[in-house]
Each structure stands twice: as structure tokens, then as C-alpha cells.
Amino acid sequence: MTSAEVPSGAVTPSRVLAAEWTKVASLASTPWTVVGTVGSAGVLAFVLGLFAGPGHAVSATSLVTSGYQPAQLGALVLGVLVGSADFATGTSLTTYAAVPRRLPVLGAQVVVTAALTLAAGLLALAASVAATTGARRTTGLAWSAADPGDLRAAVGYVLFLAGVGVCGVGLGALLRRPLAALTSGVALFVLLDQVLAANPGRVADTVRALLPSGGAGLFADDARLAALAAGPGPDLGPWGAGLVLGAWCAGLALLAGYRLARRDVT
């Protein structure tokens, strides 16, 4: 059947995607979350750059990406709001009456969130590069997207934020309550990592590498990657860390899809 033959009221993937995009774009919280993600990443990178000096153990990559902590919280909030919005606002019955097969809605939410967080990640990276220009000049650290290492870290930084956003969608759709999903996301991405980092060892480092927060290895600089490789935990490398984050994204989305398909939507 060609697009011209599709009945006017038929539910198609493109129409579900357009509907989810309209819903997300119409939320007042969406632009503010993106602005907060970009602004907080740039401001923190700028502030940390003020403390960098010649001879300090800092690289251009670590300086540019140093604002990732607040940026990941922004991406997580965005994903959680998208995944839980229908259940939190009571519009889930309307949504799934219009799309009875349900799973296309979740797929569209994942696509919309990935697109938004990719864009936010690019803007956050650009803001951080601009905000650390003075600090890099003072410390003599060069950063260029033409350098393979810098380019890999830049791509990894953007992919990491997109992955956090998709995990947020999975948590939001699975738990259906924004506060519960956000709390779980903060525990997975921040609290567990910090607790394990304070108690290093083979078991703690192995668990850290397999947490979604381990995806931060995507934008680690060479010194950080060498330290991870020399530690007691597994040496996954930047792309292995990305695969771990991708597995969390897929796992949470599958669990959310299973609940969506098997349980009531109220």
C-alpha cells in the first residue's frame, strides 16, 4: 500500500511519531530542560576551567567534558518526563485508545527523546568548548574536532547524553511515576557510581563498569582510559562502555514495552 492509499484515520508509524513530537514540543518543560542542560554544562565547565593551571593533571578533553554531571541530569529528566507524561497526566487512556497496539508509542517516544538529547548534547558540547576557551589558552591545552582523540570524545559525549535520555524514557514508561523514575535514574547514574568509586576494588570497579554511568567512558581522555585499563576492573575501552550503556537502554525499553503490552495502562 502506498502512502496515497493509507486511509485518512489509519495509525501509521509516521503519524504516531508526529503525535509524540507534538506532545513533547508542546510541553513547557521541554525547552527549559534543554536550556538547563546546555547552560549547566557550559557554566560548570567554565567554573572548573578557572581552577585549571599549567602543570595540573587536566587535559583539553576532560576540561571540555567536565560539565557532564548536570548535563546528564537534564537528559535524564527529559527522558523521564517523556516516558511518564501520559501516566502522570492521566492521558494514557486517550493515547492508547488512539494507538491500541501500544508499542509504537513507546518507540516514538524513544526516537523523539533521542533526537532531542542528541541536539541538546551537541549544544552542550559547543557551549563547553566556548566556555573553556580562555582556560585552555591559559593552560596551553589545544582542542580540535580534527584531532581523532578529541573527535572521538566529542562524539561520545553527545552519544552518552542521548543514551541517558533513552534510559530515562525506559524508566519513566516502566515505573510510570516521574518521581520514582527520576530517583531510580539518579541512583543508577550518580549515587551508585559515587559509592563504588569511594570503595575501589575488583568487585566495585567491575560493577561500576557495568552500570549505565560507565558509559561516561565514551568521552574519557587517554589518561582516564589508561587508568581504567590498569585498574582491577574490566578494560572495556570507550566503545565497550558505550555498548554497556546501549544494553541498559535496550533492557529498560524492553521491560517498559513488556509492561505496556501486558498490563493495564492506567
pTM of the predicted protein model:
0.91
* pLDDT at residue 142, rounded to an integer: 86
* pLDDT at residue 139, rounded to an integer: 86
DSSP 206-258: HHHHHSGGGGGGGG--HHHHHHHHHSSS---HHHHHHHHHHHHHHHHHHHHHH
CA dist., res. 121 & res. 42, Å (int): 11
CA dist., res. 16 & res. 77, Å (int): 22
* DSSP 8-class letter at 62: H
What separation in angstroms does the CA of 44 have from each of 41, 132, 139? 5, 10, 18
What are the backbone dihedrals phi and psi of residue 55, each rounded to the nearest 5 degrees, phi first? 90, -10
CB 85 within 8 A of CB 78: no
* DSSP 8-class letter at 38: H
pLDDT in tens, 191-228: 999 999 998 889 999 999 999 999 999 999 888 888 88
CA dist., res. 9 & res. 98, Å (int): 10
In which region does residue 53 sit, left (phi positive, over 0), alpha (psi from -120 to 50) or beta (all else)?
Answer: beta
Question: 95: which 3 cell numbers?
Answer: 493515547
* DSSP 8-class letter at 67: T
Question: 91: which 3 cell numbers?
Answer: 492521558
* pLDDT at residue 231, rounded to an integer: 84
CA dist., res. 246 & res. 253, Å (int): 11
Q: Which residues contact 77 (CB under 8 A, 6 or more apart)?
A: 33, 168, 182
Residues of the chain with pLDDT under 70: 1-9, 55
CA dist., res. 261 & res. 137, Å (int): 54
